[in-house]
Amino acid sequence: MFETEPDVVLVRVFRASAEALYRAWTDPAVLQRWLAPGPCTVEHAQTDLRVGGRFELRTLGPAGERHRISGRYKALEPARRILKSWIYDGPLDLMPGVETLLRIDLRPLDEDSTELRLTHSRITRADVRAAYEADWPSCFDKLAPALH
């Protein structure tokens, strides 16, 4: 069923090493600086960096609404790839409680720039795919300054 749904795919080049980008996805202190869309902020980030380990993000929206994202790491290849489940829990109707899959691939282009390819899959509703297609770029806009 999931394989027929289109993936949300974003590709962006960052002026940073693959190691720095990997750290931005795995270090709670760096995650808190960028992994929330638009005006939202990350209140809490926690990671257990091992295959099977859990991560959790708690974010705060501009009107005080609280969001929670959690999941488990399925693959961790430092400076190359992260594969993890992604479960959003309310208050928005973005398939709360349903496990989707997030893959981050890092490809060094030269010594100070890296291509990041994000693939968000198993999103069975078109409206939710559209929401993530809008939200991921705003997160990436925050990621660039968080790397330096």
Measured from the Cβ of residue 114, the count of other Cβ atoms closer than 10 Å reads: 23
Across all residues in the chain, what is the average pLDDT? 95
pLDDT tens digits for range 36-61:
999 999 999 999 999 999 999 999 99
Task: Give yes or no for residue 7 having a pLDDT over 60.
Answer: yes
Pick the CATH number of 2-146 from 3.40.50.620, 3.40.30.10, 3.40.1190.20, 3.30.530.20: 3.30.530.20
Least confident of 26-30, 75-79, 109-113, 139-143: 109-113
Domain ranges of the chain: 2-146
Cut 0.85: pTM above it: yes
Supply the pLDDT for residue 90. Answer: 81
pLDDT of residue 2: 46
